[in-house]
Amino acid sequence: MAAIGFTNISKTFGGTPVLTDLTLSVADREFMVLVGPSGCGKSTALRLIAGLEALSSGTLTIGGRDVAAIAPKDRDVAMVFQSYALYPHMSVAENIGFSLSIRGTPAAQIRERVAAAAETLGLSALLERKPAALSGGQRQRVALGRALVRQPSVFLFDEPLSNLDAELRVQMRAELARLQKALATTTVYVTHDQVEAMTLGHRIAVLAPTGAAGTPNLMQVGTPLEIYDRPANAFVAHFMGSPPMNLLPATTDGASAVGAGFRVPLTGTLRGLAGQPARAVLIGIRPEHVHEPGRLPHERAVSVEAPAEIAETIGAESLVHLAFPEARLIARLASRRIPAFGERVPLELDNAQLHAFDALSGARL
């Protein structure tokens, strides 16, 4: 069993809080993705698991064992870094087997494990090459192989695909998902890429930078669809998604949410706010839930109109950016028509897909 437990973990560097009160459980054999912007502490959390950083406070367990006093080499974890960190003078086979050789593993066993890892990763024909003769994707697979041969209880990945081009990232995402499923090894994966998080993780933990008052980093934990469909707060709503969720400032009046240039009735998913005292809110809607007129049933359509700022055609669809006085609205439309700059564009919001967040705290309403 290799479950991982963070209990009230905090980490400071020179008095500056990086992680604050992090409590998170990673189940045995789970693929957990830590996602968030730069400075949110996700890589620090990974380094704490590996033992490369010491806790400031809290308890960290691996397999139910408190690992605070356990050396990194004895934690039975393997880490793949953002940089490939391959030895340029060694062959692929030597790089993959290096961690075994320094542990005194018998040569025959090293050859066997290296061959098995190379077969799994499609590197069998490259074992005699040096890193300089490999592509970026091949080098990343060698780095994976070096972790794989150790047969650890826990895999740790620190943004391993960030140095690859877009096509290679897609290929390696699929490779990582296949490997984790085949090996059934507990995996913690750090990224700032929402697509990687959504496609790889069994669950996602969304982190935000800790505030000056030491506010906790952890914003929400859930499956990819739970986080996308029901974000816990405005930060998660805006961070998870590409393009991000639209957040429109408004004020409720008991019957509607009124913003600069639009009025949304408190029906559909917002009906819980009907009849309540006036309050400042953010109305959220995903770009794919904004439609051209006539595509929604009448009872679900909320009409809006605003001038176009930017329109981007991306193959089968277009992203149209509209300028409201206090916000921007992005619509993902099936039409390829490109409105002119400043042209007023009528659209409809789907009131069955609206979200509401408190304007001050960001909490979901």
Structural domains of the chain sorted by starting position, each given as residue range(s) with its CATH number in brackets: 4-238 (3.40.50.300), 247-358 (2.40.50.140)
> Is residue 14 within 8 Å of residue 29, measured between CB atoms?
no
Contact 131/84 with Cβ under 8 angstroms?
yes
Tens of pLDDT along the chain (365 residues) come to 699 999 999 999 988 899 999 999 999 999 999 999 999 999 999 999 999 999 999 999 999 999 999 999 899 999 988 777 888 999 999 999 998 888 888 999 999 999 988 888 888 999 999 999 998 888 888 988 888 888 899 999 998 888 777 887 888 888 888 888 888 899 999 998 888 999 999 999 999 998 766 788 999 999 999 999 999 999 999 999 989 999 999 999 999 999 988 899 998 899 999 999 999 999 999 999 999 999 999 889 999 999 999 988 888 888 999 998 888 999 998 877 788 899 999 999 999 999 999 999 999 99
The pLDDT score that the predictor gives to residue 23 is 97
Predicted local distance difference test score (pLDDT) of residue 173: 86
**What's the rounded Cα separation, in Å, for the pair 111 and 86?**
18
DSSP state of 160: T
Beta-carbon contacts of residue 42 (< 8 Å; ≥ 6 apart): 34, 35, 36, 190, 192, 207
- Which residues partner with 346 through β-bridges? 305
Nearest to 337 by CA among 308, 302, 311, 299: 311
φ/ψ (deg, to 5) at 329: -125, 125
Quick one: pLDDT at residue 249? 96
* Cβ–Cβ under 8 Å, residues 141 and 122: yes
What is the rounded distance in angstroms from the CA atom of residue 343 to the CA atom of residue 118? 57
Is residue 65 within 8 A of residue 74, CB to CB? The reply is no
